[in-house]
Chain A
Amino acid sequence: MPPSEPARDYGITMWGASSTGKTTFLAALSVALIRQRGPWRVIGADQASATQLTRLTTGLTQRRTFPPATAAVEHYRWELVGMVRRAARRRWRWLGWRHYEQLVTIPLDLVDAPGEAADQERAAPVLWDGLIENMVNSGGIVFFYDPVREFENGDAFAHTFGVLTELSQRMRDRADGRLPHYVAVCIAKFDEIRVFETAAKLGLIEEEAGDRRFPRVPGDEAKGFFEQLCDLSHSGDAEMVLSLLEQTFRPERIRYFVTSAIGFYLDPHLRVYDRDNYQNHLPPQDDGEPARIRGSVYPINVVEPILWLSQSISGEAGE
């Protein structure tokens, strides 16, 4: 196995405060791809990453527990593989297009840093440097915004500002003054009661097509939802997060998603989403039980940000 460093502009960094769901998001990726029944699946590119992929996925599905808190900057080298339908011109143009299927492999270099690394004042220098360096070398960032945590703590802006300042300083040789990354802003934990009810109150819920009829926030409403949620922040600073992101990165390279790594609860007998009974996250109880997942995992909008990022990055690098 030849030793190699992640190539510049190739990886995707998961960025967010502690317990916003970064590692759970990664753990749900495989499940999400399987449930989608699309052409893509995720595999490990080296032994260590493959082992971790299996471990994360079975933790969610078999044990129904959340992954342990990330302690150091973890690198996962995964790949998205799938048969993609392509079209090519025939020799005789009037015959039209020829369609064929091609096996496409998109490398997925994911960096999962502990949430406390994003807090410059409290993080150890090693962690902070690790996170920033990885972001410098990444082509894509998944930015996690946890509305529940924001409602309680209100420190999203402080975290975001610190990281982006440092990042901008280290990459200031860019010509146009903006960072070149692709950013997927994920509003996490859509399945939490407070988030979901807020979305319902704002009238943003629509039913997803499919036999399970899960609710979802359409892609074009996601940004508006984010703005609304920022208004509900504990400190009131969160609305600056959106502006900061749009000023730091190129706006056409930012996309918004409303995600839930574990999804809504589905009664195993009824198999239909129930508006009155949808909690899938069991918080830790007083007698020392860990947080658990109530039922099976039905991730929402986990594939879409990753796929968009990796395709954008690969497209830019020339696949």
Chain B
Amino acid sequence: MNGEMFPVTAEWALWGKESHDAGYRLLECSDGAVRGEAFIEVLTRYSPGTLEKLPQVTVSWLPDAAQRNYVAVAIHDTEQGRYDAGGRPIVFTRYFCVPQEELAAGAVSYDAMYQEFGRYRLGAHGPEVIKAELAGSPGPAPGGQPSGLAIRVAALLLTGQPVCILGADRAGLDTRLRFLDEVMSLLPYGMRSRMSASTWASSTFSEHKLRLFFSAARRRAGDHVVTWGQPDTARIGHRYADDYRSWLLGGVPDPVTLLAGISEPMGFGQAEIAMMLERLHVSYTEPPAVALPAPMPAPAGHPATPAQESPAEASPAAPARAPDPARAMSVPEILVSCAHRLLGGNPNFLQSDLDRLEALAAEPAGAADRAHYQQIIARHRLFRADMRIRKPLQAQLYRLLLQVAFRRPLDYADYCAVHTCAGQRDDQPLHRSLLLAINPARQPDLRVQLLGLNALGERELRHTLRDKQLPPGSLISAAVSRELTVPHARIVCDIAVSDLYRRIGTVDRKALWDALVQHGYLAATFAELYPDQPDHQADQLHRLLCVTFGAKLEPEVIREVLGHPRAAPTVPLFAAVLAMADPGDVPLAERTFTRGIIGKGHFPGRVREQLLALLPPGDHLGAGPDRAPRRLIPWRPGHGHRGGR
């Protein structure tokens, strides 16, 4: 493409006045396929108004009768010494139009057309069409980045509204024309077949039909306005435009060459733009197929909120309709969009969706909404690890997903929900990046903390536990939490026990004893968790007892532990106690245990009383013949040293 010349055939027209005319009219035109009426129509339609500074260049388009597309360049200028009947300088317009496919072969720029056709004096030679050769577009300058302003303007054009550039009074005609080329080079070449632009337009001519123009002041219409030399980085607010802008900014290495190759004629209608964007994998067009789920039973305390309706989600069987790009997307739509992008060829331009999500994530969502979102996440596997996008982006995605679809801060139920959404079973840990996104160390819920840290790894867990010095009461509470699933409970219990055991000697034993007392020394818990592993139960219970009471158990303690008023002792507990009991106290232990079983067992009251009556009294058990009588003050840790031992 560089330096090569491409043959073109240009039809032309000359618009102006003779010296005796008062009004402008078509003076001459070529005798090709385009007829005079077509020239008149297009010259007046795309007129830039009354121009004070000349020359100026207007680019436009026209189809001829055979629906062939032409790209046109019109040069407005005065001629020395030519005045009309009223003595005013005549502004001549030389209009040249070339079939679009001839230009597309070389991605010929407007500037090349102007440089070549600007030399022609029209009407001097006969009415034949002009045959010329135009230089193809040079490739992108190595290392040259399209300017931020050009990118923004190209994106704004996709909204379908005209774009007005102010503040370019000092820029020369060549600069402005080359800027028009730069903007159009950031759009598919085929869009030139419907593009109309001008290096200047009269600011008081408010009904002109130009899509892109320079002017002195904005006109009274819904134009986008940009200022020359001041690129604006704010969001545009139109989906196609924002998507396209982020695609140009970071999504693709050489957009100019890629876009120059797309030469099928296309227009600025929203449907066509949507198709174009889809083709470039910039955006999707099929409606997000998110069926509204059956409203979930609202959890206690949460009022049911009506789910957000979006037109495309009316019913799964509704015919697909492209969503209106000017309307803000709803969260489900964004989530589905993210999913599609991840599947698409260029997942890196996820950014715009994430930006949208960022804006919406600030508002808390209702429970039903969250459930909905979680469904979407689950269905589209948005928590999966292998996304092939940059890590920061992935982290942002996870963070935002967690923010919108889950309560903040994350509690255990949500944590399990995350597992569900991620498609993991409870015993499978979540992958690292998701865990990092969750940031368990910061979660107030201890269970989530422990589970998360545990999943992250030994080191993190140990570091955190060492740093935090969790109070034993919390640990025990977490361990016995009924909400925990079995695998999670095991993990938590194990962590709790091992942590307490690690801190043996420094732990607040009173608090620990209180907690143990409150929860029946965790015997039942362990029995539940490890029903088939009595030895493990005994082990853990033993450790707990060690941490709490030391190596040896006093008879009072034994009686306390095994004779817990509310919970029946279990066999592993008995085993643990036995291991720590003085041999002389074994009968006591045994007796207490038996009583405990019967007493707290499952027998109904009358049978229990009968069984208890059968047992020998327990008072004079436990003391050996050679044992000195001991004080009956039950020993309580912290109340002073144990006397005598």
Given A3, A66, A116, which contacts B25 in the complex, CB threshold below 8 Å? A116
Distance to closest chain B CB from A69 (angstroms): 5
Q: Tally chain B residues at the interface, Cβ within 8 Å.
A: 44
Q: Is A119 an interface residue (CB 8 A)?
A: yes
**What separation, in Å, do the CA atoms of A172 and B86 have in the docked complex?**
36
Contact call B23/A48, Cβ cutoff below 8 A: no
Q: Is A228 an interface residue (CB 8 A)?
A: no
Distance to closest chain A CB from B161 (angstroms): 10
**What separation, in Å, do the CA atoms of A122 and B36 have in the docked complex?**
13
Q: Is B425 an interface residue (CB 8 A)?
A: no
| B45: chain A residues within 8 A (beta carbon) | 124, 126
Q: Is B216 an interface residue (CB 8 A)?
A: yes
Q: Is B89 an interface residue (CB 8 A)?
A: yes
Contact call A47/B217, Cβ cutoff below 8 A: yes
Q: Which among B23, B48, B81 has the greatest number of chain A C-beta atoms within 10 A? A: B23
Chain A minimum-CB-distance residue to B223: A3
Distance to closest chain A CB from B221 (angstroms): 5
Chain A minimum-CB-distance residue to B49: A72
Contact call A74/B87, Cβ cutoff below 8 A: no
**What separation, in Å, do the CA atoms of A73 and B82 have in the docked complex?**
23
Chain A minimum-CB-distance residue to B209: A126
Distance to closest chain A CB from B223 (angstroms): 8
Given A50, A124, A291, which contacts B86 in the complex, CB threshold below 8 Å? A291
Q: Is A76 an interface residue (CB 8 A)?
A: yes
Contact call A69/B41, Cβ cutoff below 8 A: no
| A119: chain B residues within 8 A (beta carbon) | 23
| Interface positions of B from 36 to 65, Cβ below 8 Å from A | 40-41, 43-45, 47-52
Distance to closest chain A CB from B280 (angstroms): 31
Contact call B50/A48, Cβ cutoff below 8 A: no
Contact call A66/B217, Cβ cutoff below 8 A: no
Distance to closest chain A CB from B129 (angstroms): 23
| B41: chain A residues within 8 A (beta carbon) | 124-126
Chain A minimum-CB-distance residue to B204: A74
Chain B minimum-CB-distance residue to A130: B207
Contact with B along A283-298 (1 / 0, CB 8 A): 1100111111000000
Q: Which among A66, A122, A126, A292 has the greatest number of chain B C-beta atoms within 10 A? A: A126
On whether A73 and B207 interact (CB within 8 A), knowing A125-B41, A126-B41, A291-B86, the answer reads: yes
Contact call B206/A75, Cβ cutoff below 8 A: yes
Contact call B44/A124, Cβ cutoff below 8 A: yes
Q: Is A305 an interface residue (CB 8 A)?
A: no
Contact call A116/B81, Cβ cutoff below 8 A: no
Q: Is B390 an interface residue (CB 8 A)?
A: no
Q: Is A279 an interface residue (CB 8 A)?
A: no
Given A18, A46, A292, which contacts B220 in the complex, CB threshold below 8 Å? A46
Contact call B220/A116, Cβ cutoff below 8 A: no
Contact call A72/B87, Cβ cutoff below 8 A: no
| A3: chain B residues within 8 A (beta carbon) | 220-222
Distance to closest chain A CB from B59 (angstroms): 17
Interface CB pairs A-B, < 8 A, 5: A3-B221, A18-B22, A18-B85, A126-B45, A292-B87
